[in-house]
């Protein structure tokens, strides 16, 4: 079963109003944030608010993720307080190497209550070393279900200028997608930080999908529909996928592993791509005529 993480909405952990309303936006995941959205003097209060939200707020089917602090600051305290409240996953920021994930996984195992659903980990790759070690991080523990890219911290660390078109993060994006794919887990793209630039968000998300990302970190509820629309298979994609599957079935019936569709070769990798599109469409309840 494919896990949907098209949108992962950051909600500042020190904002009771936003925490309370975070379930109404239909994000695939919410990320209750204890790290950069929260100043050091507010960390304790935010931890209590997030623990309370996990217990009492209905996030309406959104995966409930908590971004903890790095393990060398408040991260272990966060794990001890948050894990027993039953989040689905923790987003671990500034992960540098496999040992960081191993330490987080050990602390999570100690904090889980007996019988609790295992808490997954998502590694936020946002340092030069973290990017260099992305595959080792992705395979460090079975709890790791995705790698996410944090391009603001990353570009600051390498001394690059951020641009709307993102040429400065192309290498980081493709390395991260490759590491996640090699480990058989999802790649989630960096947030688009201008909440008012809808055209820019759409362009950036389409490019991320083109590169192989399965979803995007999200900072504002107004970004959700746009990102979903981009990641949802279009009617054209669903139609193409159906025709690919039909063509290969017919070829197989005739004893061949290769088919031709509109003059183009259809073989195993093309069929895999088509099957992924159809699986996603089924998961989203989309029929051909409904894809956008």
Residue 21-60 contact track with ligand Q5B, rule CB under 6 A, x = bound: xx----------x--xx-----------------------
Torsion of CA 151, 155, 160, 162, to 10 degrees: 40
Residue labelled with tokens 């079963």: 1
Candidates 139-147, 165-173, 219-227, 240-248 — which segment interacts with ligand Q5B by CB under 6 A?
219-227
Can you give the C-alpha Rg of the chain in angstroms? Answer: 20
Q: Is 9 among the residues that bind ligand Q5B (CB under 6 A)? A: yes
Candidates 4-12, 138-146, 240-248, 276-284 — which segment interacts with ligand Q5B by CB under 6 A?
4-12
Residue labelled with tokens 């970190």: 217
- Kindly give the interhelix angle for 224-231 and 198-211, rounded to the nearest 10 degrees: 30
Contact status, residue 8 vs residue 16, Cβ threshold 8 Å: no
- Of 169 and 244, nearer to Mg ion (C-beta) is 169
Is 267 one of the annotated binding-site residues? no
Residues 6+ apart with CB under 8 A from 267: 248, 257, 258, 259
Smallest separation, CB 149 to ligand Q5B (Å):
7
Among 4, 6, 12, 185, binds ligand Q5B (CB under 6 A): 12
Smallest separation, CB 220 to ligand Q5B (Å):
4
Rounded to whole angstroms, the Cα distance separating 237 from 291 reads 8
Rule CB under 5 A: which of 139-178 touch Mg ion? 150, 153
Rounded to whole angstroms, the Cα distance separating 274 from 120 reads 28
Smallest separation, CB 24 to ligand Q5B (Å):
9
Smallest separation, CB 12 to ligand Q5B (Å):
5
Other CB atoms within 10 Å distance of the CB of residue 101: 24
Candidates 8-16, 104-112, 235-243, 266-274 — which segment interacts with ligand Q5B by CB under 6 A?
8-16
Other CB atoms within 10 Å distance of the CB of residue 185: 20
25 conformational bin, left if phi > 0, alpha if psi -120 to 50, beta if neither: alpha
| Residues contributing to the site for ligand Q5B (CB under 6 A) | 9-12, 18, 21-22, 33, 36-37, 126, 150-153, 190-191, 195, 219-222
Binding interface with Mg ion (CB under 5 A): 126, 150, 153
Which residues does the annotation place in the binding site for Mg(2+)? 126, 153
Binding residues for substrate: 67, 126
């Amino acid at each position: 079963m494919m896990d949907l993480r098209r949108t992962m909405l950051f909600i500042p952990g020190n904002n009771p109003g936003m925490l309370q309303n975070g379930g109404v936006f239909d994000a695939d995941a919410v990320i209750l944030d204890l790290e950069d959205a929260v100043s050091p003097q507010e960390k304790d209060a935010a931890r209590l608010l997030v623990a309370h939200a996990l217990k009492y707020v209905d996030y309406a089917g959104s995966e409930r993720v908590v971004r903890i602090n790095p393990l060398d600051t408040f991260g272990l305290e966060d794990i001890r307080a948050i894990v027993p409240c039953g989040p689905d996953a923790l987003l671990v920021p500034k992960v540098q190497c496999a040992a960081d994930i191993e330490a987080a996984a050990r602390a999570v195992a100690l904090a889980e209550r007996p019988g609790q659903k295992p808490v997954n980990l998502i590694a936020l790759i946002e340092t030069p070393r973290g990017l260099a070690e992305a595959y080792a991080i992705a395979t460090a523990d079975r709890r790791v279900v995705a790698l996410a890219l944090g391009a603001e911290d990353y570009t600051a660390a390498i001394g690059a200028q951020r641009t709307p078109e993102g040429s400065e993060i192309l290498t980081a994006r493709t390395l991260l997608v490759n590491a996640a794919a090699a480990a058989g887990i999802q790649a989630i793209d960096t947030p688009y930080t201008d909440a008012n630039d809808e055209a820019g968000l759409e362009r950036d998300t389409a490019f991320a999908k083109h590169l192989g990302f399965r979803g995007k970190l999200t900072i504002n509820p107004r970004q959700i529909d746009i990102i979903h629309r981009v990641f949802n298979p279009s009617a054209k994609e669903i139609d193409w996928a159906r025709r690919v599957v039909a063509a290969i079935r017919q070829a197989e019936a005739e004893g061949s592993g290769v088919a031709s569709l509109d003059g183009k070769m259809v073989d195993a990798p093309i069929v895999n791509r088509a099957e992924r599109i159809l699986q996603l469409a089924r998961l989203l309840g989309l029929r051909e005529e409904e894809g956008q």
